[in-house]
């Protein structure tokens, strides 16, 4: 009891003493995703998911539900925007957006990659997007090739993706595709898709953060079934999905999938599920799509005014028997034959408050639940809190609810998040979390605890923006204490842009009794970049140089780097040395953009991309 009281007191002290610090911009968001193990495909899929139908959100035509589901705006910003449009009509420039209460120059700048102000395109006109991307890295045999075509005309939409890693079959080791049609209240999607419902306790096969980017992001927003446009071979469902309903009122979705799954299959069944997506060696080629996973399910939901509720059911099985080795940490996640989940979710708004909750159970009646609230009385303040409990025996391989481990199971946790703007040009946020793991985990014996604390401050000084951040992690199982410190200064002066970033990691572990020392590992990195736009801002050139000293891999440092359009990069620096990169963007025609990146480090690489929009 004394230990529990101490942990609760520690958690509270962490939150209230570190509380003041900032809204997360796209740079730190990408850094966080990479640190959490997200692949390039997962990052691209996540960023695409923030755009309805893969396009920028039109601030002049978007409805309130569309703005809410995007996750890009606070409730206060949405209310301000809707009121402004009603009183003054359509926005003409992004500078005008900065004048609306709740936005300001900083918020308008961060939203720029995701929003548009132009008139809605003619729905009947053919819209075509073509993207080709190639990457060569020294020491790696072959090219990484990525080609994607997206089209939409009237109620039809379709996409085709061909991707190949170095050493694999040229052009199309992986082929992804989808075709859809919508008319009135009906829509159907055939091919590759993602399905995200409720808070994700039953089904959410898309990337999920293990910490909140802002108070409002603690509350998930159902995306339903959407086309899958990224190249991650293990994430998409493949089959048929049908939806009936409008944005408000009653709606239903049914889906069925029979996607191929990489697996090592023997006489008794499958022994492992490789997730790398590589098919280069004989063993990797033999595992490619060696079995299928069958998934069937549906969702029924009601949305009306300030209230929405939904019911999700999903069942799944593999075409081969489970022959995996049972260990102390995975024994509760083992199943053979059909397994499934059912979940009920609810969300409601009342004044400045939003409440959300979801409860679920698997076929063995093992429970899971999450609930929370978001309070947003003004643009200057926002707070949220959530509680969750996932039984250690809860099985949900396709869930994506908030979790600090790769599975939605084996944890009980509490989260507090705060955003505050005490002065003009000052953004402050804090994120705090305490988690208890009742069962064993990989390389962790018995029950264990962990605490997380992220604080961030951002200051706008004219054309210059300065940010400071500390992300602290305490792992009770090992006594590890880790601080990831970040500082950045960014500015824009006419056609010039420049930034200076610094990152440091301090890692301390408890040693067994009798050890002579208690070592402190460290890593440090410094990056400077500058760029300029040319030719009526049609072309641009930028370059960056990084110095780093991180002798311990566990203390490696991640720093954000600008990259090819539609992708973002957060390089990790390990060892001691220097790295440099140059990015060139040329727009030879109105609808064609060519971009190239040359990165010089221990393993130099070159990346080229062509984008054509018709």
Which DSSP string do the residues of 371-388 spell out, in sequence order? Answer: EEEEEEEETTEEEEEEEE
| Cβ(366)–Cβ(402) below 8 Å | no
| Cβ(158)–Cβ(181) below 8 Å | no
Pick from 463, 342, 338: which is nearest to 399 by CA? 342
DSSP β-ladder status, 605-613 and 127-137? antiparallel
Last residue of a domain, one of 163, 180, 197: 180
Flag whether 506 is in a domain.
yes
> For 120, which DSSP code?
P
Helix or strand holding residue 43 (H, E): helix 40-49
Q: Structure tokens of 592?
A: 């064609």
Write down the pLDDT at residue 328. Answer: 87
Last residue of a domain, one of 140, 155, 180: 180
| Beta-bridge partners for 504 | 485, 524
| Cβ(593)–Cβ(61) below 8 Å | no
Q: How many domains does the chain have?
A: 2
Distance of alpha carbon 90 from alpha carbon 524, whole angstroms: 47
What burial class does residue 134 get, using C-beta atoms within 10 Å of its C-beta: 0-12 exposed, 13-18 middle, 19+ buried? middle
> For 441, which DSSP code?
B
Distance of alpha carbon 297 from alpha carbon 413, whole angstroms: 29
Write down the pLDDT at residue 9. Answer: 37
Distance of alpha carbon 109 from alpha carbon 80, whole angstroms: 17
DSSP β-ladder status, 57-58 and 115-116? parallel
Flag whether 501 is in a domain.
yes
Write down the pLDDT at residue 110. Answer: 63
Q: Structure tokens of 595?
A: 């971009």
Flag whether 457 is in a domain.
no
Flag whether 143 is in a domain.
yes
Contacts of 203 (CB under 8 A, 6+ apart): 195, 196, 197, 297, 312, 314, 341, 343, 398, 399, 400
Pick from 299, 292, 165: which is nearest to 237 by CA? 292
Task: Determine the distance from the C-alpha atom of residue 340 to the mean position of all C-alpha atoms in its chain, rounded to a whole number.
Answer: 25
Q: Which residues of the chain have pLDDT under 70?
A: 1-55, 69-71, 104-110, 112-113, 118-124, 207-213, 511-519, 566-570
Pick from 223, 252, 258, 216: which is nearest to 237 by CA? 258
| Beta-bridge partners for 368 | 360, 390
Flag whether 547 is in a domain.
yes
Write down the pLDDT at residue 3. Answer: 42
| Cβ(135)–Cβ(144) below 8 Å | yes
CA-to-CA dists, residue 70 to 58, 119, 228, 311, angstroms:
12, 19, 16, 21
Helix or strand holding residue 83 (H, E): helix 75-88
Flag whether 567 is in a domain.
yes
Measured from the Cβ of residue 99, the count of other Cβ atoms closer than 10 Å reads: 13
Pick from 309, 287, 288, 286: which is nearest to 299 by CA? 309
> Which residues span the domain enclosing 168?
126-180
pTM > 0.75: yes or no: yes
| Cβ(447)–Cβ(439) below 8 Å | yes
| Cβ(313)–Cβ(298) below 8 Å | yes
């Amino acid at each position: 009891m004394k230990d529990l009281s101490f942990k609760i007191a520690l958690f509270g002290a962490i939150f209230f003493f570190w509380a003041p610090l900032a809204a997360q911009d796209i740079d730190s968001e990408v850094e966080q995703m990479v640190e959490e193990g997200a692949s390039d495909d997962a990052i691209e899929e996540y960023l695409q998911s923030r755009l309805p139908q893969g396009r920028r959100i039109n601030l002049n035509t978007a409805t309130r539900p569309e703005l809410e589901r995007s996750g890009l705006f606070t409730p206060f910003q949405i209310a301000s925007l809707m009121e402004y449009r009603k009183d003054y009509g359509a926005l003409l420039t992004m500078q005008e957006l900065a004048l609306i209460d709740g936005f300001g120059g900083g918020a308008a700048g961060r939203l720029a990659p995701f929003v548009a102000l132009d008139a809605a395109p003619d729905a009947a006109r053919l819209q075509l997007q073509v993207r080709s991307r190639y990457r060569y890295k020294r020491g790696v045999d072959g090219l990484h090739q990525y080609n994607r075509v997206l089209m939409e005309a009237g109620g039809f939409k379709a996409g085709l993706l061909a991707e190949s890693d170095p050493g694999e079959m040229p052009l199309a080791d992986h082929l992804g595709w989808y075709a859809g049609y919508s008319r009135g209240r009906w829509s159907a999607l055939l091919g590759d898709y993602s399905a995200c419902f409720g808070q994700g306790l039953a089904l959410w096969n898309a990337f999920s953060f293990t910490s909140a980017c802002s108070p409002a992001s603690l509350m998930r927003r159902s995306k339903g079934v959407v086309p899958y446009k990224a190249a991650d071979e293990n994430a998409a469902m493949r089959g048929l999905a049908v939806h009936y309903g409008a944005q408000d009122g009653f709606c239903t979705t049914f889906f069925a999938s029979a996607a191929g799954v990489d697996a090592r299959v023997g006489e008794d069944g499958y022994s492992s599920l490789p997730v790398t997506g590589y098919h280069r060696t004989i063993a990797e080629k033999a595992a490619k799509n060696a079995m299928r996973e069958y998934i069937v399910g549906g969702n029924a939901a009601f949305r009306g005014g300030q209230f929405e509720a939904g019911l999700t059911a999903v069942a799944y099985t593999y075409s081969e028997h489970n022959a995996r080795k049972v260990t102390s940490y995975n024994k509760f996640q083992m199943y053979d034959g059909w397994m499934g989940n059912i979940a009920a979710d609810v969300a409601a708004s009342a004044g400045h408050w939003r409440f959300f909750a979801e409860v679920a159970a698997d076929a063995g009646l093992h429970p899971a639940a999450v609930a929370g609230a978001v309070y947003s009385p003004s643009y200057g303040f926002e707070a949220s809190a959530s509680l969750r409990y996932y039984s250690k025996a809860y099985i949900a391989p396709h869930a994506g609810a908030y979790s600090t481990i790769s599975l939605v199971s084996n944890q009980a946790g509490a989260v507090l998040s705060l955003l505050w703007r005490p002065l003009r040009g000052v953004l402050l946020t804090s994120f705090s979390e305490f988690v208890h793991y009742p069962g064993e985990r990989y390389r962790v014996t018995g029950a264990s605890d962990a605490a997380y604390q992220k604080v961030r401050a951002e200051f706008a000084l004219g054309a210059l923006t300065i940010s400071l951040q500390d992300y602290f992690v305490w792992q009770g199982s090992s006594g590890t204490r880790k601080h990831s410190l970040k500082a950045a200064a960014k500015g824009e002066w006419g056609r010039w842009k420049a930034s200076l970033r610094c990152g440091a990691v301090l890692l301390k572990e408890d040693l067994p009794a009798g050890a002579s020392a208690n070592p402190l590992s460290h890593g440090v990195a410094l990056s400077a970049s500058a760029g300029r736009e040319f030719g009526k801002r049609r072309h641009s050139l930028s370059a960056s140089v990084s110095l780093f000293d991180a002798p311990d891999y566990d203390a490696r440092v991640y720093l954000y780097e600008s990259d090819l359009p539609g992708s973002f990069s957060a390089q990790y620096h390990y060892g001691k040395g220097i790295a440099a990169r140059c990015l060139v963007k040329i727009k030879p025609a109105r609808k064609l953009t060519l971009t190239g990146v040359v990165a010089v480090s221990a393993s130099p690489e070159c990346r080229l991309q062509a984008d054509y929009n018709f």
